[in-house]
Chain A
């Protein structure tokens, strides 16, 4: 979830110092959960058998020895492990031959009882990805709403130069 602090940081990096209370109010007008749900609806999980074409691309596009991801995919499929694609709007968004966000290139299983079950792992990845994707639009929407509230209430927006590395 985007917080007031996130919007303040976003505004500061654009050279504006906004009122925290106004940002609070502005952020409340943005339905973050609805935006996240709409984003999630754009995704599809494709657990791949390693043999079929993927959206017109042959398996050799993904299974090869040219890089660590291709090699990991070959090894994982040969060992009976699972791999998946996250599709967004019907296009390949992520190609994931091991568990996302997890150290050690952890393979995934087809077994629903396995801690690294491919569908559970892919769903978690999808949820995280959708939240990442909507951060920008939520920040923009809240920022614009805050600017309008500043204007409506006659509260001046202070233009400021903020060092890039400043943390709130």
Chain B
């Protein structure tokens, strides 16, 4: 056994008391030996969405968003449209609809970017239609709506 094992050890590391949870002790070059942590353990944080404000500092084991989020507005105001989620493209489509006249406009919402993009227009302008995505063929079907026309959209 070497002599060095009998000498006092110098703590290593740069942790400070504010970076260690309350109730725990630690040693570091920055803080010293046997220092108590001061970071509060806040547990789970439930955050109502669209509620501005700040929350106490500290450690949170989980953050849960509750309620409704206001996202980017659809770029085309209309009623009686259809919507479908394309799991392959990971996009939500807003399809056709009515605003005084029948629309063939298709817009796509990107959750990743929180933006809207204009897609290829439907071949038929219509409202009160239905839409569904078939993942086996990666097609979004747009069905009827004042007509019996069915179109399939591939992203």
Q: Which residues of A contact B (CB under 8 A)?
A: 2-3, 6-7, 9-10, 13, 61-62, 64, 66-70, 92-97, 100-105, 125, 129, 132-133, 135-136, 138-139, 164-165, 167
Contact = CB atoms under 8 A, between A and B. Distances in A.
Nearest to A92: B115
A139 B100 contact: yes
Nearest to B102: A167
Contacts of A101: 105, 118, 120-121
Given A68-B89, A165-B146, A94 B105 contact: no
Contacts of A97: 117
Contacts of A100: 117-119
Interface in B70-86: 72, 75-77, 80, 86
Contacts of B77: 132-133, 135-136
Given A62-B115, A67-B112, A164-B128, A132 B120 contact: no
Contacts of B91: 67-69
Given A67-B110, A68-B108, A70-B113, 20 more contacts: A61-B113, A61-B114, A67-B111, A67-B112, A68-B88, A68-B91, A69-B89, A92-B115, A97-B117, A100-B118, A100-B119, A101-B105, A101-B118, A101-B120, A129-B75, A129-B118, A132-B99, A135-B77, A135-B99, A135-B100
A6 B101 contact: yes
Contacts of B121: 101
Contact of B117 (A96, A103, A167): A96
What is the interface of chain B mostly: helix, strand, loop, or mixed? loop
Interface of B: 72, 75-77, 80, 86, 88-91, 98-101, 103, 105, 108, 110-121, 127-128, 145-146, 155
A55 to B, nearest CB: 11
Given A9-B100, A68-B90, A132 B80 contact: no
Nearest to A70: B112
A101 B104 CA distance: 9
